[in-house]
Amino acid sequence: MRSYSCNAELRGFDKESGESMSIREYVKVMKEQSPVMASSSLLTRNLALAKIKESLVTNKEDIFAANAQDLARADKDQVPAAVRKRLKFDEHKLSDVLAGIDSLLSLPDPVGRITLDRELDLGLELKRVTVPIGVIGVIFEARPDALVQISCLCIKSGNCAVLKGGRETAATNKALFNLIYQAAVSAGLPEGCLLQASAHSEIDELLECDDCVDLLIPRGSNRFVRYIMENTKIPVMGHSDGICSIYVDEYADFDKAIPIIVDAKTQYTAACNAAETLLVNRKIASSFLPMAAKALAKAGVRLRGTEEAAEILEKAYAESGAKTTPDGCIHKSDVLKEDSDFRHEYLDLILAVKLVDSVEEATAHINRYGSHHTDSIITESDENGEKFMTLVDSAGVYRNCSTRFADGFRYGFGAEVGISTGKLHARGPVGLDGLVTYKYRLYGSGQIVGDYASGKKSFHFRDL
């Protein structure tokens, strides 16, 4: 096999001819080398992670300088503040990704785990063993820390990865990828372990590589994910919108509920697991809603909601003797007329509000207008809590805690390549377990099916 590497533009080339290669050509090489990557030892993969960590620390000023270029361009383009927060890669973000690498280093090998060991007959043993998926293409939003998390997860799980980040962080992504790739190869991983696609046009080229790419993980808008699904034969795993809801039950503890709601909306507003809808039981709405609105307004959150919710807030503030309409009210321009208006991912300091009669009505609303990502109930009733968690058809269902916990790192996965809202293979934050599949290994001693079909021999199943 010919020898390949990456040039300064992070594209493959043939060392023998020196000719540039297309994404398709390079991905073919990655497919050839994926068995080498899959068979690499845990020691080698962990060494690569350790070298990546060291390189990120040693070269952090270069990374920050590249990020400053991206941030300056974002300011020039007047990128919204909530989105700009995603673009930033500073000491805090570096500390987070380093902690993620440490967590990955501490986790056991996801490859080679025996999940079934069964004797079919004497001398005939069946094993189900976890193996890497192969070549994974990940198309993600403009978040430099995501590039580090995704590449490290793919390395730990023995997968080759094609990475395409958002153009808004092109300079930062390039600096990070160079360091990660060089560290990985220096640790002994194959040259085809990682590739960064830089041009938007290369996404369409990647979508045509169904003979080489085993899985695509797109992260972004619903429209973007739909485009990916409709324009490739490659299996796709991902989520589109993050329309997360919090339902405040009639048996809610208000002192718990308000900090949870404020955290879910404001701790990282631009994240897919930030709350976008607040559902409140009508029995407590007149007392709870004004308290929540006041706390949310203090945190800079603007409310949108139904006419019913708006009237409750207006009445409460009128009775309080307020001379002017407080920020916590729902203004006429923010009144939502149709339930379909709740199908919106704001990714901003805006929260939609609706009143419901019961857990059943709340779960029906979530299942119809949510995105099956993460939803939470605030209640002290075990019965209502269990009913909510059973009826809501989402990847994550919570009780008395913030939706912001929907994260691979916070689940102890080390990090995540994304959050899957599908139901096949992986669901929720996709960590190492979601990046492996399995194969069956059958160890025999001369057995043939004819002996069993004829009745000469019979199976004697026994789990070992």
116 and 130 in a common domain? yes
Say if 423 falls within a structural domain: no
Domain assignment present for residue 157? The answer is: yes
Q: What is the mean pLDDT of the chain?
A: 90
8-49 tens-digit pLDDT: 344 443 444 445 678 889 999 999 999 999 999 999 999 999
Same domain as 198, residue 113: yes
The residue segments making up the domain with residue 336 are: 244-405
Q: What is the CATH number of the domain that holds 216?
A: 3.40.605.10
The stretch 281-307 carries a mean pLDDT of 94
> Is 278 found in the same domain as 156?
no
Same domain, 152 and 259: no
Q: Give me the pLDDT at residue 18, please.
A: 47
Are residues 296 and 175 both part of a single domain?
no
392 and 348 in a common domain: yes
pLDDT in tens, 102-145: 999 999 999 999 999 999 999 999 999 999 999 999 998 888 99
Over residues 99-113, the pLDDT tens digits come to 999 999 999 999 999
Sign of CA dihedral 83, 87, 93, 96: positive
Indicate whether 372 and 394 sit together in one domain.
yes
Specify whether 312 is located in the same domain as 370.
yes
Q: Which CATH number is 332's domain given?
A: 3.40.309.10
The confidence band for 240, taking pLDDT boundaries of 50, 70 and 90, is low
Residues 264 and 343 placed together within one structural domain of the fold: yes
Tell me if 449 is assigned to some domain.
no
Domain shared by 252 and 226, yes or no: no
List, as own/partner pairs, every contact residues 439-445 make where C-beta atoms lie below 8 angstroms and the sequence separation is at least 24, other chains included. 439/128, 439/129, 439/131, 440/126, 440/127, 440/128, 440/129, 441/126, 441/127, 441/128, 441/129, 442/120, 442/124, 442/125, 442/126, 442/127, 443/124, 443/125, 443/126, 443/127, 444/123, 444/124, 445/123, 445/124
Residue 290 in any domain: the answer is yes
Beta bridge partners of 399: 377
Domain count, the chain: 2
This prediction's pTM:
0.83
Residue 12 lies in a domain: no
One domain for residues 348 and 364: yes
Would the pLDDT of 65 be above 50?
Answer: yes
Indicate whether 103 belongs to any domain: yes
Same domain, 365 and 390: yes
Per-residue pLDDT at 19: 53
Q: Provide the pLDDT for residue 426.
A: 86
Say whether pLDDT at 325 is over 70: no
Residue 11 lies in a domain: no
Domain assignment of residue 10, yes or no: no
Checking if the pLDDT of 203 tops 50, the result is yes
